Amino acid sequence: MTRAVPRAAVVGGGITGLVAAYRLRTELGPEAQITVVEESDRLGGTLRTVDLAGGPLDVGAEAFIGRRPEVPALMAELGIADQLVHPAGKRPLIYSSGELHAMPAGTLMGIPAGAQSIEGLVDAATLQQIAVEAETAFDWDPSIDVSVAQLVGGRFGEQVLRRSVDPLLGGVYSGLSDSIGVRAALPTLAAALDAGATSLSSAVASALPPPSSEPVFGALRGGYGVLVDALIAAAGARIVLGARVESICGERKGWRVDPIGHVDLVVLAVPAPALSAILADTVPDAADAAADIELASSVVVGMALPSDVELPDNSGVLVATDAGLSVKAFTLSSRKWTHLADRDSVLLRASLGRFGDDSPLGLSDTELVRTAVRDLGTVTGLDVTPTATVVQRWHGGLPQYAPGHLDRVAEIECAVRDVPGVAVAGAWSHGVGVPACVASATRAAAAVCEVAR
């Protein structure tokens, strides 16, 4: 008897979905019928590389954590390892109280282990509060999860949140300390607290990663578009764009996925709200948990400036949330990345938008560029006119890892685990960065392939 050719559907054409399709191809073989269904008109999700001033510039995610192996390993598999580049090693700045400050050293996501590391960024009263924190009564309940603001604000004060913690959380999650939970965003800190740390200061000190000379970040010389294109080619999948999957329905020996019909295997690599809608009838417990994961929207304004513009000799500028600016961060791309420093134009990116504030998305492109240029002038003192710009809106681009997030993810994964031939993956699960998405997709593909064996 001839064995039937396996048919698989991957719902979602972002980085998670594309890696899942590639892994399915590797596991199921060249004869497998693999279809990627994407609601938008393009693949790549929040990875997008555009041409600006004669060369590539990423206007979504631009880098990955260097200490994680997933992306370099994937690049090697795809034959694009020569695209790997590392930053120039320059430090970012923080703009607060009308001044630029060096990024504090010895902090965990902006949370200091002691007063000395944050001196100059906060006032004397806050420094004193941090200095005596270890001497004040500390009560931590290992059975609960709290927001970063609840934990840090009560121990170190509001200025630490707005001037040190929020700028970093804004870069990772487009969120705030009020909207992000300790356990999901800061697992090493939570572990130190659970182990009996007697103060927040001591917990931060024990949770800090050991010093390393290895590059913190990596990127692709030609932008993430190179990785997206390589995955599309290697997956060899049928691509269906502009199609929304509303639900999946169990059938005899498989699933019906509209609009593509019957398949044997399904990987759902979509944002949490879409996942909730798709699973509402099939796996209601997972759908209910996914519905509680909210999203943040943001905007990236890419700018090319005249080649004689002298940016600060730093990788970027993070903006305190109490600074009164619209831009939350500037990536000084030509300073941060050596491969961009050789371009004829000075390149940078401005990021706007946080969880709970979608107002930047409502501005016109002209207004967004004007806002970015104005805030750049405020931060650096430069009076510049861009020679080229690009505006990228990210509607619902990043999930918020709110308190209780790990429990929600566990509920989703537990409920779906009992559904044969279906797996879920995405930035909502075990990390928003590209390495975490690659790992999530790899696990999901392996899970559904167990059914095909």
Residue 33, beta-bridge partner list: 7
426's torsion region: left (phi>0), alpha (psi -120 to 50) or beta? left
Q: What does the pLDDT look like over 332-369, one tens digit per residue?
A: 999 999 999 989 999 999 999 999 998 999 999 999 99
Spatial neighbors of 217 by CB under 8 A, at least 6 apart, are: 63, 64, 65, 66, 86, 87
Report the alpha-carbon distance of residue 262 to residue 266 in Å, rounded: 10
Q: Exposed (0-12), middle (13-18) or buried (19+): which is 451, by Cβ within 10 Å?
A: middle
* pLDDT value at residue 214: 81
Distance of CA 51 to the CA centre of its chain: 22
283 and 141 in a common domain: no
Residue scoring higher pLDDT (111 or 212) = 111
Query: In the predicted model, is pLDDT for residue 121 greater than 60?
Result: yes
Residue 59 maps to a domain:
no
Question: Mean pLDDT throughout 113-140?
Answer: 94
Question: Mean pLDDT throughout 227-238?
Answer: 98
* pLDDT value at residue 106: 86
Task: Kindly write down the DSSP assignment for every residue of 8-55, as one continuous string.
Answer: EEEE--BHHHHHHHHHHHHHH-TT-EEEEEESSSSSBTT--EEEETTE
CATH classification of the domain holding 139: 1.10.3110.10
Banded pLDDT at 226 (limits 50, 70, 90):
very high
CATH classification of the domain holding 353: 3.90.660.20
Question: Mean pLDDT throughout 99-108?
Answer: 92
CATH classification of the domain holding 280: 3.50.50.60
Residue 215 maps to a domain:
no
* pLDDT value at residue 3: 60
Examine the fold and report which residue of 179, 207, 235 is the final residue of a domain before the chain moves on. 207
* pLDDT value at residue 2: 46
195 and 126 in a common domain: yes
Decide if 70 contacts 140 (C-beta within 8 A): no
168 and 32 in a common domain: no
At 300, give phi and psi (nearest 5°).
-115, 130
Query: In the predicted model, is pLDDT for residue 452 greater than 70?
Result: no
Task: Kindly write down the DSSP assignment for every residue of 82-124, as one continuous string.
Answer: GGEE-B--PPPEEEETTEEEEPPSSEETTEESSGGGGBTTB-H
* pLDDT value at residue 1: 39
Examine the fold and report which residue of 207, 236, 265 is the final residue of a domain before the chain moves on. 207
Residue 98 maps to a domain:
no
128 and 171 in a common domain: yes
* pLDDT value at residue 233: 98
Banded pLDDT at 453 (limits 50, 70, 90):
low
Which percentage of the chain shows pLDDT scores above 70? 99
261 and 179 in a common domain: no
Q: What does the pLDDT look like over 129-188, one tens digit per residue?
A: 999 999 999 999 999 999 999 999 999 999 999 999 999 999 999 999 999 999 999 999
Residue 2 maps to a domain:
no
Residue 258 maps to a domain:
yes
Residues 250-259 as b/e (b if ≥16 CB within 10 A, e otherwise) read eeeebbebee
Residue 100 maps to a domain:
no
283 and 409 in a common domain: yes
Which percentage of the chain shows pLDDT scores above 90? 92
Examine the fold and report which residue of 356, 371, 399 is the final residue of a domain before the chain moves on. 399
386 and 343 in a common domain: yes
C-alpha angle with apex 236: 231 to 242, nearest 5 degrees? 80
438 and 384 in a common domain: no
271 and 230 in a common domain: yes
Q: What does the pLDDT look like over 52-65, one tens digit per residue?
A: 999 999 999 999 99
190 and 312 in a common domain: no
281 and 355 in a common domain: no
Query: In the predicted model, is pLDDT for residue 423 greater than 50?
Result: yes
Looking at 87-91, 198-202, 241-245, 449-453, which range is the least confident one?
A: 449-453
> Which residues form the domain of 329?
66-73+84-91+295-399
Beta strand residue intervals within 93-225, DSSP E: 93-96, 99-102, 107-108, 111-112, 217-220
Considering Cα of 49, then 51, then 56, then 61, what sign does the dihedral take? Answer: negative
Question: Which residue carries 């970027």 as its tokens?
Answer: 316
* pLDDT value at residue 440: 98
DSSP state of 364: -
Q: What does the pLDDT look like over 271-326, one tens digit per residue?
A: 999 999 999 999 999 999 999 999 999 999 999 999 999 999 999 999 999 999 99
Residue 331 maps to a domain:
yes
Mean of per-residue pLDDT scores for the chain? 95
Residue 436 maps to a domain:
yes
Overall domain count for the chain: 3
Report in angstroms the alpha-carbon separations of 21 from 253, 262, 278, 393, 446.
21, 17, 19, 26, 11
182 and 131 in a common domain: yes
Distance of CA 226 to the CA centre of its chain: 19
Query: In the predicted model, is pLDDT for residue 410 greater than 70?
Result: yes
